[in-house]
Amino acid sequence: MRVFTTTTRTLRITWAIFCFIMFIYGVCALTSLLAKGVRSLFAPENAPVPISYSIGKKYVREGYMVRLVDLSSGRNLSPRFRWVVTPEKGSGDSIAVFCTRNGKRGYLDINSGKTTLRAKYSKAFIFSDSLAAVVGKDRKVGFIRPDGTFAIEPQFPFIEGHDYVFKNGYCWIMTPEDLYGVIDKSGEWVLEPRFNYVSDYATNAFVVGENCKFGLLDQDLNWIYEPVHEDIRIADEDKKTVFVTDGGIKKLMTYDGTVLEPFIVDSAGALYPETDSEGDFSPARFNWFLSGEGMGVMDALTGKMIIPPLYDDVEMISENLFFCSFDHYYGPGVIYDCNGNPLGENLEREAAEAFAKNTYNQLTIKR
In angstroms, rounded to a whole number, what is the distance separating the alpha carbons of residues 150 and 270?
62
The topology under which CATH files domain 37-121 is Thrombin, subunit H (2.40.10)
Q: What CATH number is given for 196-264 in this structure?
A: 2.40.10
Element (H, E) at 7: helix 6-42
Is-contact 99 82, C-beta < 8 A?
A: yes
- Hey, where are the domains in the chain? 37-121, 128-145+153-188, 196-264, 267-357
Distances (CA, A) of 275 to 1, 54, 314, 335: 93, 68, 15, 17
With H, G, I as helix, E, B as strand and everything else as coil, classify residue 357.
helix
Q: What CATH number is given for 267-357 in this structure?
A: 2.40.10
pLDDT for residue 42: 39
Q: How many CB atoms lie within 10 A of CB 322?
A: 28
- Please give the model's pTM, rounded to 2 decimal places: 0.66
pLDDT for residue 219: 87
In angstroms, rounded to a whole number, what is the distance separating the alpha carbons of residues 67 and 49?
9
**Length in residues, the chain:** 367
User: Environment class of residue 54 by beta-carbon count within 10 Å: exposed (0-12), middle (13-18) or buried (19+)?
Assistant: middle
With H, G, I as helix, E, B as strand and everything else as coil, classify residue 302.
coil
137-146: burial string, b at 16+ Cβ within 10 Å, e else: eeeebbbbeb
Is-contact 98 81, C-beta < 8 A?
A: yes
Bridge partners (DSSP) listed for residue 183: 171, 189
- Strand order, beta sheet including 140-144: 132-135, 140-144, 150-157
Distance of CA 289 to the CA centre of its chain: 25
Is-contact 250 244, C-beta < 8 A?
A: yes
pLDDT for residue 214: 96
Please report, in tens digits, the pLDDT of each residue of the chain (367 residues total).
444 455 566 666 677 676 767 777 676 666 555 544 444 433 444 344 444 434 456 777 767 788 888 888 888 888 889 988 888 776 677 899 999 999 999 999 988 889 999 999 999 999 999 999 999 878 999 999 999 999 999 999 999 999 999 988 999 999 999 999 999 999 999 999 999 999 876 668 889 999 999 999 998 999 999 999 999 999 888 889 999 988 888 899 999 999 999 888 888 899 988 765 544 556 888 999 988 778 999 998 888 899 999 898 998 888 889 999 887 666 788 999 999 999 888 888 777 777 777 764 444 444 4
Same fold, 196-264 and 267-357: yes
